[in-house]
């Protein structure tokens, strides 16, 4: 079978409509990238049908707004040439990791990095966490004298590459010094930030996704991008993009949810209903432009902020996406702390001391109730 220079851990609908789609489009353009071997690391037998259906071609339906125009199109993803499971095909996963892989992608869910009791085993155990499985594979690649490799986690963890490296180094702390040196010198650990709402799966494989997509990759010496694509951006630092996402998109969601809760939180309303309401949209625009924008001006990010607000409001207004405000309002006090209180502190750190009465009142209210 054809070698697969990209090895991906995770079968999520997000990956199907994000990295796998981008690589497929790049391959169709003639770029010398891919194909991909997808590895199911969970061993979940209920996903066997999905795993098999990824090979060959599967659909991704794109639905959203682009510059105010409705977009509905179905794309065929053809980048996956092989699928495996660590639970039943570990030896073949090892072979591809050692012989074929140049880039390793992962999106293993919220609990993917969490330590497990079996992580300390000297031999492979299916119950291991993803970092422990990766450590096992890196040991075998090193022992085989293979070429350097690039590790690109896509989990929604700040500095995900740095975090994954730290966990692998911890697991390998008692290994030989030359292996530890290999992890430092010959493994490129890449931080990235991904964004795309993938609203539902298609059966047996495929997904429905919004038009917007981002794969921001932090630059470093020796970096190899998986493909050239409009959604792929190589940036000097992810910090600015993380701030925009957290303090515009996420803060905007939480601001709308706070107003909904203040009205009793009883109506089953969608985000797009709120931004199609002139009063709600006006309130959101006011707080973004008069209380949030000043912080981004102080951070010398005004141009990026203005463009991101336009994109964010278009995403909120997506007529095809049923994004319930009740879902956003879950764990509301914690989200107020992470998104609104944190923005107020971020603004002060950048020298923005302008009054922010609306956001400050939201934070104060939730401090009183905690």
Torsion, Cα 108 114 116 121, to 10 degrees, reads 70
Q: Quick one: 148 and 13 in the same domain?
A: yes
Overall domain count for the chain: 2
Query: Is the pLDDT at 181 greater than 80, yes or no?
Result: yes
> Could you tell me the residue range of the domain that residue 328 belongs to?
239-368
Residue at which a domain ends, from 193, 216, 235? 235
Q: Identify the bridge partners of residue 198 per DSSP, sorted by sequence position.
A: 209
Would you say residue 178 lies in a domain? yes
Please choose, from the candidates 268, 244, 194, 139, the residue with its C-alpha nearest in 3D space to the C-alpha of residue 20: 194
Q: Quick one: 320 and 222 in the same domain?
A: no
Query: Is the pLDDT at 369 greater than 70, yes or no?
Result: no
Q: Quick one: 301 and 225 in the same domain?
A: no
pLDDT, tens digit (0-9, with 9 covering 90-100), for 272-290 = 999 999 999 999 999 999 9
Residue at which a domain ends, from 214, 235, 256? 235
Cis peptide bond upstream of 204, omega within 30: yes
Q: What is the rounded distance in angstroms from the CA atom of residue 368 to the CA atom of residue 370?
A: 6
Residue at which a domain ends, from 235, 269, 289? 235
pTM flag (> 0.85): yes
Can you give the pLDDT at residue 367?
79
Can you give the pLDDT at residue 1?
74
Would you say residue 163 lies in a domain? yes
Q: Quick one: 184 and 304 in the same domain?
A: no
Q: Quick one: 174 and 204 in the same domain?
A: yes
pLDDT, tens digit (0-9, with 9 covering 90-100), for 297-306 = 999 999 999 9
Q: Quick one: 228 and 257 in the same domain?
A: no
CATH number at residue 200: 3.40.50.720
Q: Quick one: 104 and 135 in the same domain?
A: yes
Mean pLDDT over 118-144 rounds to 96
Would you say residue 1 lies in a domain? no
CATH number at residue 244: 1.10.1040.10
pLDDT, tens digit (0-9, with 9 covering 90-100), for 317-354 = 999 999 999 999 999 999 999 999 999 999 999 999 99
Q: Quick one: 145 and 14 in the same domain?
A: yes
């Amino acid at each position: 079978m054809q070698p697969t220079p990209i090895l991906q851990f995770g079968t999520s609908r997000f990956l199907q409509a994000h990295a796998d789609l981008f690589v497929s489009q790049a391959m169709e353009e003639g770029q010398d990238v891919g194909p991909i071997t997808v590895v199911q690391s969970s061993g979940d037998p209920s996903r066997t049908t999905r795993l098999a259906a990824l090979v060959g071609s599967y659909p991704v339906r794109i639905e959203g707004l682009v510059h105010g125009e409705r977009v509905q199109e179905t794309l065929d993803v053809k980048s996956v040439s092989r699928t495996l499971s660590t639970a039943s095909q570990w030896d073949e996963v090892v072979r591809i990791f050692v012989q074929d892989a140049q880039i390793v992608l992962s999106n293993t869910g919220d609990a993917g990095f969490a330590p497990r009791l079996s992580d300390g085993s000297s031999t492979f155990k299916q119950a291991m966490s993803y970092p422990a499985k990766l450590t096992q594979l890196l040991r075998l690649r090193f022992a085989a004298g293979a070429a350097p490799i690039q590790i690109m986690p896509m989990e929604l963890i700040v500095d995900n590459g740095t975090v994954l490296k730290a966990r692998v180094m911890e697991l390998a702390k008692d290994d030989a010094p030359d292996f530890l040196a290999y992890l430092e010198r010959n493994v490129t650990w890449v931080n990235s930030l991904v964004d795309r709402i993938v609203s539902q799966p298609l059966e047996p494989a495929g997904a429905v996704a919004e038009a917007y997509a981002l794969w921001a990759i932090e630059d470093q010496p020796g970096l190899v991008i998986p493909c050239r694509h409009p959604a792929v951006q190589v940036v000097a630092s992810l910090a600015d993009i993380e701030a925009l996402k957290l303090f515009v998109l996420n803060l905007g969601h939480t601001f709308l949810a706070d107003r909904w809760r203040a009205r009793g939180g009883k109506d089953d309303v969608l985000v797009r209903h709120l931004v199609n309401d002139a009063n709600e949209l006006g309130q959101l625009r006011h707080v973004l432009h008069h209380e949030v924008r000043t912080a981004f001006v102080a951070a010398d990010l005004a141009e990026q902020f203005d463009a991101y607000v336009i994109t964010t409001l278009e995403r909120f207004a997506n007529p095809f996406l049923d994004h319930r405000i009740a879902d956003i309002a879950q764990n509301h006090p914690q989200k107020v702390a992470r998104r609104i209180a944190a923005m107020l502190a971020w603004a002060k750190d950048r020298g923005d001391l302008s009054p922010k009465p609306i956001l400050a009142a939201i934070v104060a209210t939730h401090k009183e109730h905690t």
